[in-house]
Amino acid sequence: MENKTILVTRSSMPPLDEFVKEIGLLWETHWLTNMGDKHLQLERDLVDYLDTDNIALFVNGHSALECVQEAMDLHGKVITTPFTFASTTHSIVRVGLTPVMADIREDDYTLDPEAVEALIDEDTCAIMPVHVYGNLCDTEAFADIAARHGLKLIYDAAHAFGVRKDGVSSANFGDASMFSFHATKVYNTVEGGAICFRDARLKPLLDQWKNFGITGTESVEYVGGNAKMNELCAAMGICNLRHVDEEIAKRKVVAEHYWERFDGVSGVTTCKPQPDITPNYAYMPVVFDPERFGATRDDVYAALMAVDIHPRKYFFPLVSDYECYEGLFDASATPVAQRVASQVLTLPMYADLPIEDIDAICDIVLGCRR
Ligand SMILES: *Cc1c(COP(=O)(O)O)cnc(C)c1O
């Protein structure tokens, strides 16, 4: 095979002329940020697409996550998962809260509600589960636990844009859900993010927190940050939203080809979408059991990298193993997360990935078996 670089993802972009047309008016108004027309329109478009009542846009998903915790005025411990991206835990720590790690489930790698409930104490103020790879958490169980213990429930829904469970949008679970519109996600605004939330009273708070805590022309009531989405990013979002269903349909073809190639292979687990969800095919995670497959995740990673194919060990290392959290967590207390992190590889996945490339990738992966 001739070596051609294949990266783990490739950002979705609208036709150039469509974007140029979308931003044309900005050259007349000279209004580039601070909740302009594009920002307002994207909020309306997303409320519609995500079927949610309340939304606030942000410069990125991470800032959105920090902001919602500040706006909710939380204090104490937040129970979350170590099997996630740095952002989830960092957001908790950076707003002065204490993360507590619970284990994940064997089947879909989302936070285990029973493990969460066992860790709740009088200092717990919130639960932050992650919809890993676009599969949804056990939202009923978490709603029940949060209600019984009087806790806030904030989902990291960065992977779950457009996903529905029994027809209900992923934006409508818990008190709030954070979406990331980073360039590598299923839907992007270059950089961007949003919080969708249940209580409409949060809207002015979130909008003020993302704008220095300014509450009026002559009043500043909070020590807020600067996390506003600008008009060029909002315009990109408006355009990309017109094509996102097409992009997801193309991802489905890619995903189904991968699954066909891996079905029935001993020691290979693909994390297929749950039966009750409308998936977005955000990632292509494959878990390798070295005993049964005959090669480790790291063997497969090295074989692909050797021919310029770039999968990702996502999520590895566990957040609880990060240098910056040394001594704070015990990764062996979350054994399922520890095992999955050591065995998972996410393979290249994007709408325009050609079938021949998928076959080339699968041939190399399957050729690793001893
Ligand atoms: C991408 C991502 C984030 C952060 O979103 P940004 O928009 O990049 O700030 C948070 N959590 C998870 C699980 C993510 O994948």
**Average pLDDT value for residue range 161-185:** 98
**Average pLDDT value for residue range 4-20:** 97
Question: Strand locations in 81-210, DSSP E?
Answer: 98-101, 124-128, 152-156, 164-165, 168-169, 176-180, 193-197
Residue 208: pLDDT over 90: yes
Q: Which residues form the pocket of ligand 1, taking CB atoms under 6 Å from any ligand atom?
A: 60-62, 84-85, 87-88, 130, 156, 158-159, 180, 182, 193
CA-to-CA separations, 282 to 114, 159, 166, 273, in angstroms, rounded = 27, 7, 19, 10
pLDDT above 90 as % of the chain: 99
Model pLDDT, residue 5: 96
Residue 242: pLDDT over 70: yes
**Range(s) of the chain covered by CATH 3.90.1150.10:** 244-366
**Distance, CA of 163 to CA of 230 (rounded, Å):** 26
Tell me what the pLDDT averaged over the chain comes to: 97
CATH number, domain 244-366, options 3.30.465.10, 3.90.1150.10, 3.40.50.300, 3.90.1170.20 = 3.90.1150.10
What is the CB neighbour count within 10 angstroms for residue 198? 17
Interval between CA 78 and ligand 1 midpoint (Å): 18
Model pLDDT, residue 3: 73
**Average pLDDT value for residue range 27-37:** 97
Residue 210: pLDDT over 80: yes
**Distance, CA of 155 to CA of 161 (rounded, Å):** 12
CA-to-CA separations, 338 to 1, 71, 264, 326, 341, in angstroms, rounded = 35, 33, 25, 16, 5
Confidence of residue 340 (pLDDT cuts 50, 70, 90): very high
Interval between CA 80 and ligand 1 midpoint (Å): 15
Question: Strand locations in the chain, DSSP E?
Answer: 55-58, 77-80, 98-101, 124-128, 152-156, 164-165, 168-169, 176-180, 193-197, 214-216, 219-220, 268-270, 277-278, 284-288, 344-347
Residue 1: pLDDT over 70: no
pLDDT above 70 as % of the chain: 99
Model pLDDT, residue 2: 61
Q: Do the beta carbons of residue 95 and residue 121 sit within 8 Å?
A: no
CATH number of this structure's domain 16-238:
3.40.640.10
Residue 349: pLDDT over 60: yes
**Range(s) of the chain covered by CATH 3.40.640.10:** 16-238
Q: What is the pLDDT of residues 114-131, one digit of tens each?
A: 999 999 999 999 999 999
Tell which one of 87, 110, 195, 318 to mutate to probe ligand 1, the residue whose CB is within 8 A of the most ligand atoms: 87
Among the listed residues 133, 369, 109, the one whose alpha carbon sits nearest the alpha carbon of residue 265: 369
